Each structure stands twice: as structure tokens, then as C-alpha cells.
Amino acid sequence: MNLSIVVPVYREEGNIAEFVRRITPILEGITKSYEIVFAMDPSTDRTEDVILAERAKDARIKLIKFSRRFGQPMATLAGMQYSSGDAVVVIDVDLQDPPELITQMFARFREGFEVVYGQRSHREGETLIKRMVAFLGYKIINRVSEVSIPANTGDFRLMSRRVVNEVIKLKETHGFLRGMVALVGFKQTAILFERPARFSGKGNYNRFFGSVRIGLNGIVCFSSSLLTLSTTMGFCIAALSFLVAGAYLCAKLMGAAFPIGNPTIVIIVLFLGGVQLISVGILGEYVARIYEEVKQRPKFIVDRDVGFETHEKQK
């Protein structure tokens, strides 16, 4: 049984050696036939040198380096495409995803589950704002999405080769792995864990605005509900305008005095303008993703790969 570990990295020189030290005995306890695939955006620190130094000790450590920064989602997909294992684990290098859980994941995989994902019961080291964004984001996504995406999950998961191949076949360019894995289906289960703080340094991926962007991808790319919401708001506002006009007409016919002036006009104009801008923005999000899809640009461009000479790369 071959096992692949996919690790997206960017400026993580302080975490790699400790990550390898902790994960190696765990993988050795599962199978001797494994590989650790580091998918690296070009870094200004010594990340590449540290990975190559670890590879000098163990040839099962491999490296993919991109021509420019493509971001964590594309790095993850690239690592999955280059991997060769019968099971593939996606994990962060900062040790917030405990490598020790891989043993449990592999056991569930042997029981017949095609996807085993880590589900956070506690998120140590994250700000209150980020936790609130994550909570609300999952609530909204699962409310409107066409597929069910488990709450409090990241990309940390084990997938069978069949699932990995189906995800790679998808032509979507957003790289929202949680949604893509949910979309392809198959038998899935969760393992709960308390997420610790980072081992070293600050996160370079998935900061606040990055998390918001990922959540927006989950909503826009897996649901058309925002378009429906925009249409619904239009009908509601139209109905409200008729009601207001009727109220003004009745008051006028009854001779009642009612205030109409500059503040009223300003409020109405700003309200309608805001709704229009929101609607145009929603349309823009969908159009932008259509634009990205129709260009059919490569999801990533590899500058160099190290350690992949012995087997055919997955397409």
C-alpha cells in the first residue's frame, strides 16, 4: 500500500525540519512505501534549501517548485496530481494539523472509507474574528450550497486514489478542495481533533482576507443562490415601492400632512443605489469566475520538480 503526503508550503523554513521529524515515524509505522511531496510557491527564505537538505537524508521526500506564486489551493492540487499513492493525505506543514491523526485516518481508510477528513473541535491560536468568519462562513455555505461541506474542516484529509483522480479531472480553477471533494462524493467520514497553534512563524496562507475569499468561492462556485437572492431583493423592493406609493396616495386623499423632503429622497436613493451595487457585485462575482474558467489557463506552472523521475506523473 503506497501512501502520499501532500504539503503546500510558502516561506516555511522554520517548520519543515520539525514537520519531517514528527511525521516520519508515523508513516514508518503505517507503511515503508510512502512519499512526502512538498508543493512550494517560490519563497524568499530558505524553504527550498531546507526541503532539499531533508531530501538528502531521505529520497522519499520530493519537491515541486512553481514558476511563481499560485497560492495554496493550486499548490495542493499540483501535489495531488504529482502524487502516486493509493491514498493521499493533504496536510499543512505548520503542525496545526497533527500528523499523529494520519494513523487513525489510514485505519478508517482500510475500513472502506474513501475520504477521511479532520474536523476541528477547537481552534487554538486563531483570533475571535477569524473564528467568527469561519463559523458564519460554514453556516452560509451549507445553507445555500448544492453539496454538503462539513463544518470546521480544512484541507487536512486522506483521500483514496479514486477520489484524487476524480478531483483532478475537474476543470474548475478556484481550487476549493473541500467543495470539490464533497462534489465527487463517495464514502466519507470525520475524525475530531483539537487544532493546536502553529509550531513556528506566522501563517502565509489563509489569512483573514484569504479566508473570506475561500469562503466566497465556496458560496459562488457551488451555488446560484446569490443570484436568486438578488432577484428576490428586486421584487421585494418593487413591492415595497408600491406600498409606499399607496400609503402616500391614501394620505394625500385623506388630507393628512406627511413630511416629504430632502432627507427622504436621500435615504431612498442611497438604499436603492446600495441594492443595485450589491446586485451588480453578485453578478460580477459570477462573471469573473466564468471569465477565469473560459480562459482555460493552466492551474499552475512547474519550474522544477525533484524526485519524480521514477514514476509517471499523474495527469
Q: For strand 153-160 and strand 87-90, is the pairing parallel, antiparallel, or unpaired?
A: antiparallel
- C-beta of residue 160 within 8 angstroms of C-beta of residue 115: yes
Task: Judge residue 199's burial from the number of C-beta atoms within 10 Å of its C-beta, 0-12 exposed, 13-18 middle, 19 or more buried.
Answer: middle
Percent of the chain topping pLDDT 70: 70
Residues 156 and 270: their CA atoms lie apart, in Å, by 44
- The whole-number mean pLDDT for each consecutive block of 10 residues of the chain, a chain of 315 residues, reads 91 89 91 91 89 90 90 88 90 88 91 88 60 61 64 84 89 75 86 72 56 61 66 73 72 68 65 75 74 74 81 46
**pLDDT confidence of residue 202:** 62
- C-beta of residue 52 within 8 angstroms of C-beta of residue 21: no
**pLDDT confidence of residue 231:** 72
**pLDDT confidence of residue 220:** 63
Amino acid at 255: G
**pLDDT confidence of residue 215:** 60
Q: Could you tell me the three cell numbers for 6?
A: 501532500
- Burial profile 59-87: b = 16 or more Cβ within 10 angstroms, e = fewer: ebbbbbbbeeebbbbbbbbbbbbbbbbeb
Q: Where are the beta strands (DSSP E) in the chain?
A: 3-9, 34-40, 61-66, 87-90, 115-123, 153-160, 188-195, 302-306
What is the phi-psi region of residue 36: left when phi exceeds 0, alpha when psi lies from -120 to 50, beta otherwise?
Answer: beta
Give pTM, 2 decimals: 0.69
**pLDDT confidence of residue 131:** 61
- C-beta of residue 173 within 8 angstroms of C-beta of residue 71: no
- C-beta of residue 55 within 8 angstroms of C-beta of residue 63: yes
Element (H, E) at 233: helix 225-253
